[in-house]
A and B are shown apart, each in its own frame.
Chain A
Amino acid sequence: MFKQLAVVCVGLIGFSLQAGEVQTFENQFGKVDVPVTPECVVSLHDFSLTIQLFELGVRPCGSVARKRLWSDAIFRGVQHRFNTEGLMYVGSHKSPDEEAIAVLEPDLIVGLSYQNKFKAKLDQIAPVVILATKDKPIKEWARQLAELTGKSARFEDQQKEYDWIIGEFKRLVPEPEKITVTTLEIYEDNFQLIGRGGLDEVIADMGLSRPQGYLEAKKGINYSLERISDMDADIIIDSYEPLLDSREDTADFRNSAQWKNLFAVKNNQFLYLNRSRYGDSMGGLIGSAYLLLSHIAERDFKKQ
């Protein structure tokens, strides 16, 4: 009789372990006990985490978004690719509404490094995992996110596709370090050196190089448009935000002699992208990689 009791006990224990299976996730922000297959994930950043979750096949139940006056919240980079019905808006990424998150009763909350200060409050609703997106490459935190949600297989597929593109590029372009690329964003009276959609990471992976002016300059500073000639390169990539009419506002500069004198512009090697097209996710990396592959390796490309 004891034997049967033991079997039943073991069976019961095994069953209970499976029902609420928990794993420990650890990164530089600490250890967190998270469920193995979370059912309701809340993302605290729309442009990277939410997009990546959707790409992994996980439908988050809530996400932060950008708000336009009188219109619904916009989940940047997600709305044009995925069905966002049922995705709840939980506030801005600078101050997410804890109550709105609590209403959803999530079992996992993911955020970025600058949102670490919300962890104390949000920890009471659900386990909070902070991922380092600023200093680490997209591949790394996307892998961590896949592990968290049990979708590592899907991530491996994305990684495989990306690696193939890089391989293709290296095959077709023998000396990539001789090609210079500038990624920037031009505004009405100044410009910043930003590469959206993981472009900077792709450029580094492909072995492409940057013009001297770019290397000496700093990120995050608004430079005067007069300096644009310092950033001249074989190919220049700019992006615009469709919600903001930045295309129209900067049209005058693109008609100016200063601009038209640039090597990249003279040789039709200037790309102007919709900023929301590629998010900061594996999908963004893949898209940007295909972009560069096509514009550099698959056509008659002129170098300075």
Chain B
Amino acid sequence: MTHAHRTALTGELPAPSCPVVELPAPTRRDEARAVMATIREIRDRGVGVRDIAVVARDLDPYEQPLTRAAIQYGVTPVFWTQLRVTHTEPYALVAALCTLFADGDVAATSLLAPLTQRWAPPTDAAEWPLDQSTIQALLEALPSGRRSIAEWAETIQTHTTDERFTTYCDWLQTHTEREPTPETVGGVLAPSIDAYRETSVPARQQADSPALMETETAARATVRVTRLVEQVTHKYDEWLADGTVSRSWAAVRELCELLATQRPGRREHSNARAIDIMEANDVWALSVPYVIAVGVTAAEWPAQTESVVPAELQEAVLSGAGATGIVAPRTAWGDGRDRDHFVDAMRAAERGVIVTRYTQTDDGDDVHPSPFVASVDMETVSEQARTQLVSTAPQLPEPIDALLPPSGESDPAPTESPHNE
């Protein structure tokens, strides 16, 4: 009836080597706030920023809640995930230029979209980039309807005396080519991103808060998009040569989208004061005193994995029955990967693990804890203690407090290689 192979992927989890505390909160955002309040409190107790790591199975739904909660509690976060380059300004600049040149007759919004994404001229960029209210004021003054770039250039002359718009329109007209060559594409996009680097990144820094979160993102994105432009130009050349595409800015735009979503972004984060937040698949080589594992719910950890292999066949393979004995089972059939990552997260901690979870969906439906914690011996933070933790008079909940070294005792020295890059 049972078979060791079949059940091997579902055995009990190994017990963690350090104490575990459970910190439930009503919603995901409440959970994120409790996480950041905890970090702030234990940092105030002398725990170093590199002695804490926040781990999630999937950071996607947590990035915004944790970011906002971190700022609320005075913590700078960094997320060790690939940069969402398509949400960044330099990418938006490149995309806006492609769209503008691709569309021929355009609305004023499209005409000025590159400026909105802080286009600057390749030279003489002292007064650049334009501020948004200047762009917006012109946009609201311009007539509706679609026009060619040349027609817009004439129209704009009658609506503003700001020479910078003339500079911009002149540059556009110089580079308007409905069927661009790879050289044209490189000649438009590369100088634009170079000018962004020279002009708009420093401008971003000037407007940024001291933690430079926006500047860092802009810089990462600039490096990434610079490379992207090189790749796009090269790939466009290749595709033209083999007839995959015909010359058009729309093809260039599609290439940008394709390559932006395919290529990983640079992962380094530069702020020594920022708290590391990472996905569980990055945690295997980590060794850090305190791990905060977030999203430990039945809904998210493990994630439900779809398989094209019917469950009955999976079981046959796992059993090694008959001819299936030569087929290797997949770990995903038994929550294996998520399970391993959870074990890694627990094992990475030297002094304590805090598992956090939310108990309600946005609609108020119950969310149950992850089955992985069912057999873990852990103390749970009460709702009252959580409320106090996230309050204006915060107190570290007793079970978490017990994880910390007694007052006056120094923290362990940092390990030599605490981070896997």
| A and B part of one assembly | no
Q: Which residues of A contact B (CB under 8 A)?
A: none
